[in-house]
Structure 1
Amino acid sequence: MLDPHQLPFSAAVHPQARPAQHLTWDSREAGPDTAFVALPGERMHGNTFIDQAQAAGAPFILTDLDVPGAVRVPDAQAALFAWARAERAHAPLVVGITGSAGKTTAKSYAAAALEALFMPVYNTMPAIACFLIEHGRAGRPLVVEMGIDRPGEMAELMVLVRPDVGVVTTIGPAHLEQLGSVENIAREKGEILAGTRSLVGAQAAASYPGAQSYGFGDVTFRGETLRITPEGARFTFAGVPVFLPHGAPVQAEAAVLALVLAREAGVALPDAAARLRGVHVPGGRYRVHPGRFTVIDDAYNASPVAVQAALDALQTLPGRRISVLGRMLELGPTERELHAEVGQAARQKADVTYGVGAFAAELGERAFATVPELLAALLADLRDGDTVLVKASRGISWTPERRAQEGVGLDVVVQALLQARGDA
């Protein structure tokens, strides 16, 4: 329980404040067992939503205001982070994972192997803080996804999370509008390696000479005899056979990381490998939907390195291979060239290439201005036995109309394909 009367900082606790099971900065998630933290936002302060949280029955409100049920402090955000740092100290093992692509996949496999608690998809600093406060004393390992999109953010995260193991999955052009260059990305993300233990994926190894690496090929910790089939990925690690249903090379590399972490934590490798079979990554992250034509839902987000990895996986699969690619966001002044490079790779690795949105012609031989136009052509073209990869950035803050126009948010394409197949 999160007891407002036993906090690692000074606060004026209102008599109506009571213990909670959970903590949130989103007033819509507040409830009888979920307390609310009123934080400053880009547009509005969380104090604006205190009435809403109180009406939902929040056990207490962490705020700088004197209101019923308040845990009153001068700065709610500073108090939240101080509380998180105090609770994190009780965790037996904390693994921090960053990278230009593959973070969520790596997190999911590492957590399964370690039987750890892990961060949900939404991984802002307040979300990470709430996670550490809720689970720091659970007595289980914690796996935290540490994504960044601006200079200095990893340094802030390191103060908060203090991972025992720092992992970089990949390095490539992503969030270039804020970070400026791949070299800056490598430097900023590389701050996670200042932890007690550091590991980098095979693709990222060139950016961190001397760091211990994992994956396949010329790495420190190596999976062996990797085979990719329509059924999934098979390989061995330290003599232990591993099978990942519908897995691709990215999942296999994440599984190697997971097994390295498990072995170092004293977990029996056969048990860890068995748990990896049941990993289900969140929707939109290379989720394979087999059927009369196969749909690969990789539409959650996109960067050049992530699209290249998805295309590599597509190339290993049978049947007519179709890539459906949309715009990648936050790539800065070189975005046209980066889209052209991805499109060239698609033409080499797929049999049919579709592009949509602002850089449609760069991304595919069959180029369409909007998502509805793309869908009409794609659905008319599909055949039994095809394999269709769908990938683009999300443009999550955009209106549906703008997303359709710009060629982002292609989860709607995935849903249309599944509906056309009759199983959605």
Structure 2
Amino acid sequence: MENKILKKGCGTVVSSMTVERALFNMEEVSVIAGGLIRQGSSRPVSSVAIDSRQVTADALFIPLPGEHFDGHQFLREALTNGASALLLADRVWPLEGEEVARQAREKGAALITVPDTLRALQDLAGNHIRSMTDLTSIAITGSSGKTTTKEILGSILRREAPAIINEGNLNSEIGLPLSVLRIKGEHKYAVLEMGMNHAGEMAVLADIVRPEVALITNIGRAHIGLLGSQERIALEKKEIFKFFDDRQLAFLFEDEPFFEYLSSKVRGKIIPFGPRSTPGFEGSKDLGLAGSIIYWEGFQIHFPLFGTYNLVNALSSISVSVELGISKRKIKLGLQEAKPIFGRSQVIRGAVTIIQDCYNANPDSISRVLGFVRKLSWRGRKVMVLGSMLELGQDSAQAHRQMGREAGLSGLDAVIFFGIETETAYSAALETGFSGFLSFTADFEKLIQKLQGYLREGDLLVLKGSRAVELERLIPLLAMDRLEG
């Protein structure tokens, strides 16, 4: 973009030491986290960990309460592994504080009590990113496509300058601050995915990052069981723009049904993306599992991720990159080098070619994959394993019936439904008069047996289901020497 995005107003920021040397000193940790130093230390904080096993020398260990364990149980281990400081919840101090302080003193580490350890982690991350005066922060959310979009945009921006993206799926109220705290002074771009599965979480994440660029990929039905409706999902996703002050950029899909609502009263520039809106887009050619050719600004770009949904993710990344002033050549290179990540649009080629797209599943992503596979030109048979879609709440039965109807009308050669929730999908598929091999099981061993007895060389196997179903477990068990078909 012609004019560099103005840095957001950040209020009072406690200065930090050079990032390459240290993140904070003990006084800074105490002030930022609203804590009290119970045991001092002159050692620096060079990293932050919430898992005592990941503590390294001079790390700040922040114990968080969990469903099965409380991080306060592992304070001694964190000290043994080299922590320079421990946070301790105020509620724990009367019970264990003196003993923990003694242990910290023996290791030359600090002990700081805080009202809430999770809030302390988030506050430290927010302070850290707002101390990065040369950083452009880009936040991405949406019901689907946000991780892939993050990867594509990161691939482009790395051609321009040092850039960092969330590792793996560190995009929650716990994971995002850990990602933010890994940003270093050398980084010029931070591309940060923001996930959300309960009301209020997006506002917390937006407050941490205060992004200068924010993109919503789409509003779908993922997590609808936790939020109640798509309208509620849209309301929560819109919170990514909450801290805009007229100097930021908001990107929305041109055909997003909630476009008007999402763009209403946003204090920033609204920029649509998509086939009609992305600057310089001239069309595309579908290459099946090999991806597509994107015709853009006179270039023919081989984009390796398959499906029209990934093409839209590429167009969103182009739109953001153009606004940021990235050169055409670097955008082209970044698109060409984009790679699928675990469980998302992965193609595993072999005697049986496998599409591993089982990191997550919701009604919208199921429909997109079924549509892609139905149209895909393939010499062999098309086989699909559809696992349960979770976190759909009261909509689960209806959503699974819809999945079954769509699968039954897909024209595939075989569909196997896996998981208790998919029994209704199986019944719905039967009602369509599906002419291929159709089956249902909730037993993983029986699923393996069905596949080993059916698959043969030349088949295409598509794995799609929610993360907890763990369909990727099938892959090492489906070696050709174990197939009977």
- What amino acid is aligned across from residue 362 of structure 1 in structure 2? A
Distance in structure 2 (CA, Å) of the matches to 1:62 and 1:238: 53
1:206 aligns with 2:257: yes
- What amino acid is aligned across from residue 197 of structure 1 in structure 2? L
Conserved in 2, the CA contact under 8 Å of 1:167 and 1:193? no
1:138 aligns with 2:186: yes
Question: Aligned residue for 1:263?
Answer: 322
Question: Aligned residue for 1:3?
Answer: 24
Question: Aligned residue for 2:93?
Answer: none
Match of 1:95 among 133, 138, 156: 138
Residues 152-195 of structure 1 deviation map (CA, whole Å, 9 limit, x = unaligned): 11111111121111111122212122200111111111222444
Match of 2:390 among 322, 329, 336: 329
Question: Aligned residue for 2:84?
Answer: 59
- What amino acid is aligned across from residue 121 of structure 2 in structure 1? L
Deviation (angstroms), 1:2: 2.1
Alignment gaps of 5+ in structure 2: 1-21, 90-96, 264-269, 430-437
Structure 2 residue matching 1:7: 3-state secondary structure: helix
Conserved in 1, the CA contact under 8 Å of 2:164 and 2:187? no
Distance in structure 1 (CA, Å) of the matches to 2:206 and 2:290: 39
Distance in structure 2 (CA, Å) of the matches to 1:284 and 1:149: 20
RMSD: 2.5
Question: Aligned residue for 1:297?
Answer: 356
Conserved in 1, the CA contact under 8 Å of 2:417 and 2:423? yes
Conserved in 1, the CA contact under 8 Å of 2:26 and 2:110? no
| CA pair 60-8 structure 1, distance change in 2 beyond 3 A | closer
Conserved in 1, the CA contact under 8 Å of 2:139 and 2:211? yes
Conserved in 2, the CA contact under 8 Å of 1:30 and 1:36? yes
- What amino acid is aligned across from residue 264 of structure 1 in structure 2? E
Question: Aligned residue for 1:78?
Answer: 119
Residues 183-216 of structure 1 deviation map (CA, whole Å, 9 limit, x = unaligned): 111111122244421112356x111126533233
Conserved in 2, the CA contact under 8 Å of 1:87 and 1:137? no
Q: How does 1:2-401 map to 2 (within 5 A)?
A: 2-5=23-26, 7=28, 9-10=30-31, 12=37, 14=39, 16=41, 18-32=43-57, 34-64=59-89, 65=97, 66=101, 67-68=104-105, 69-75=109-115, 76-89=117-130, 90=132, 92-115=135-158, 116-120=163-167, 121-135=169-183, 137-194=185-242, 195=244, 196-201=248-253, 205-209=256-260, 212-216=271-275, 218-219=276-277, 222=281, 224-317=283-376, 318-319=378-379, 320-349=381-410, 350-358=412-420, 359-360=422-423, 362-363=425-426, 365-395=438-468
Conserved in 1, the CA contact under 8 Å of 2:353 and 2:459? yes
Distance in structure 2 (CA, Å) of the matches to 1:379 and 1:144: 41
After TM superposition, the score normalised by the length of structure 1 is 0.88
- What amino acid is aligned across from residue 129 of structure 2 in structure 1? R
Distance in structure 2 (CA, Å) of the matches to 1:110 and 1:33: 33
Larger radius of gyration: 2
More displaced stretch, 261-270 vs 18-27:
18-27
| CA pair 419-4 structure 1, distance change in 2 beyond 3 A | farther
More displaced stretch, 45-54 vs 411-420:
411-420
Residues 348-393 of structure 1 deviation map (CA, whole Å, 9 limit, x = unaligned): 3333221112214515532223222122112221122221110111
- What amino acid is aligned across from residue 353 of structure 1 in structure 2? V
- What amino acid is aligned across from residue 296 of structure 2 in structure 1? F
| CA pair 246-258 structure 1, distance change in 2 beyond 3 A | closer
Distance in structure 2 (CA, Å) of the matches to 1:213 and 1:242: 22
After TM superposition, the score normalised by the length of structure 2 is 0.77
- What amino acid is aligned across from residue 207 of structure 1 in structure 2? F
Structure 1 residue matching 2:384: 3-state secondary structure: strand
Distance in structure 1 (CA, Å) of the matches to 2:150 and 2:114: 35
